[in-house]
Amino acid sequence: MNTITDKSSTDHKLDEDRETLRDSLDQIAVELGSAMRDAGLNFPLGLTVPETGDALVSILTPGEPSAADWKSAAAIVHEIVSKRLGGIKLRNRELQCAMANATMTVADVTAG
């Protein structure tokens, strides 16, 4: 899923917002992990901030959470990212993805 701003944002504003997110990505991940645990969401979630395009942040998981759990996790990401960027309105776009040259399960990315 990509989290993108309202189309009224300018390219310059997107670049500034992305830089803000990159600078605080580790803190966002810690806050996200805590909020997900509090919500009973126990799957790994990755965040990336793209260099170009409309997206501010993309999220992914190597796991297979239910649609309800994914929606809950995405809502948490929206809340954290929006707050970090001064409360801007966010929307999302679902994207298909696949992995090449890797066989990965949740056990591969969680602490043992």
Q: What φ, ψ does residue 53 adopt, rounded to 5°?
A: 90, -165
pLDDT at residue 87, rounded to an integer:
92
63 is written with which tokens? 């796991």
Output DSSP code: residue 87: S
Question: For 71-86, what is each residue's pLDDT tens digit?
Answer: 999 999 999 999 999 9
Q: Which residue has the tokens 């504003």?
A: 13
Mean pLDDT to the nearest integer, 100-112: 54
Q: What is the pLDDT, as a whole number, of residue 9? A: 46
Full DSSP string of 49-63: --SSSSEEEEEE-SS
Q: What is the pLDDT of residue 97?
A: 73
pLDDT at residue number 104: 55
How does pLDDT run across 48-104, given as a tens digit for each residue?
999 988 889 999 888 889 999 999 999 999 999 999 999 988 888 877 777 677 665
CA 111 to chain centre: 20
Write out pLDDT tens, residues 3-32. 555 544 467 889 999 999 999 999 999 999
Q: Of the candidates 75, 85, 88, 89, which has an alpha carbon nearest to the alpha carbon of residue 36?
A: 75
